[in-house]
Structure 1
Amino acid sequence: MFRAAFIALASGLVLTPVQAGVVANYDVLAQSHDRALRSESDRRSVAAELDRHIQRLGERYLAAEQDLHIEFTRIDLAGEYEPWRTGWQDVRILRDVTPPRIHFHYTLLQNGKPVRRGEARLSDMNYLSDPRARGDSDLLVHEKLLLDDWFRKSFR
């Protein structure tokens, strides 16, 4: 029995359950006009933060045999820098007219086969009124809430 387990592990067979996964493409960030995404390090930081969040959502909402492929086509962060404000050049000002926007194409795979494809266009004009964001110091809280809502509605 020990020998069979060793052979199975050595040959690459996994004896643990397969985990659901999300694969996301953030190439669109390189073409963004958002001042917060102008530098490569800023784009990497935003992509990494969103990716961590999306992975957690995938673990929570997707079945073990499901995978989700996402290709972002637009990401506009909530708020905007207002460079005319002296002393506030590095502060993102949140206003009703600058909501977060996230657009993407997605493919849901079940056991490696596509079962659903679609496009999502997420935005929330009332994002400043969302009580879930109050007191949260996360810089991407509004974008994450958009993704939370979409995953909850799409994969209950």
Structure 2
Amino acid sequence: MKATNQFKLLLIGGLLVTGAATAGDAMPENPVTEDGVVSITWQNPKDYTDIRSANMKKSRYERQLFETLTRNLNKEASKLLKPGQQLRMTVTNLDLAGDMRPTFGATPNDIRVVKPVYPPRMSFSYQILEGEQVIMAGDEKLTDLGFMDSMPNISNKPYMYETKMLNDWLDKTLKPGS
């Protein structure tokens, strides 16, 4: 009888620890990532076309994806924005380059197949602020149909196609004379 009670306590304790760990991984409905001069609100990511991971828990993958894209965009935005300016974005859809495919038992995880017919796409609104004043704003629907032609084949940086698409947009939008 005593062993049964100890087992029940261990089971309850394990469930509490598991629940606490899982709760820490939960993503807010509309997460916000910030890095330097860039702030991005990821609006309803559950509705995005394709941000699935091949082998990572969804909330962790989304957090990594959003933070990486924000950090990468900040590197370019910091070069182009004037001191005191900020870029605020609200992303409404994201479709990563490639397509997730099942492996039918060959491996325990799906794989992302990257081909020219699966380009990266992103829809968002943006504001360039100087202090609290909006000096530029707009809505964008980006697609990079030539994404595989412009990247070195040996590059393996995470989200390189999406980063290049965003950096190209930023250069076109913010560079003088563009």
What TM-score do the two structures reach when normalised by structure 1? 0.78
Q: Is the counterpart of residue 122 in structure 1 residue 142 in structure 2?
A: yes
RMSD between superposed Cα atoms in Å: 2.0
Equivalent residue, structure 2, for 1:105:
125
Q: Which residue identity does 1:102 align to in structure 2?
A: M
Taking the aligned partners of 2:64 and 2:93, their CA distance within structure 1 comes to 17
Relative to structure 1, the CA distance from residue 35 to residue 69 in structure 2 (aligned partners, 3 Å threshold; closer, same or farther) is closer
Structure 2 segments unaligned to the other structure (5+ residues): 1-35
- Please give the per-residue CA displacement for 1:15-35, whole angstroms capped at 9, x wherever unaligned: xxxxx7111112332322426
Residues 76-117 of structure 1, C-alpha deviations (whole Å, 9 max, x = no match): 100011115552643210122211001110011123201111
Aligned to 2:82: 63
> What residue identity is the alignment partner of 1:65?
G
Distance 1:29 1:80 in 2: 17
SS at match of 1:127: coil
Pair 1:29 & 2:48 matched: no
In the alignment, the residues of structure 2 paired with residue 22 and residue 135 of structure 1 have an alpha-carbon distance, to the nearest angstrom, of 29
The structure that has the greater radius of gyration is 2
Distance 1:150 1:129, change over 3 A: same
- Separation in 2, partners of 1:83, 1:134: 24
SS of corresponding position for 1:45: helix
Which runs of at least 4 in structure 1 moved beyond 4 Å after TM superposition? none
Which residue of the partner structure matches residue 164 of structure 2? Answer: 145
Distance 1:28 1:57, change over 3 A: farther
On the 8 A contact 1:67/1:112 being kept in 2, the answer is no
Aligned residue-pair number: 136
- CA distance 1:79–1:85, shift in 2 (3 Å): farther
Letter in 1 for 2:123: H
Relative distance call for 1:28 and 1:133 in structure 2 (3 A) is farther
Q: What TM-score results when the alignment is normalised by the length of structure 2? A: 0.69
> Once the 2 structures are TM-superposed, how far is the Cα of residue 53 of structure 1 from its aligned partner?
0.7
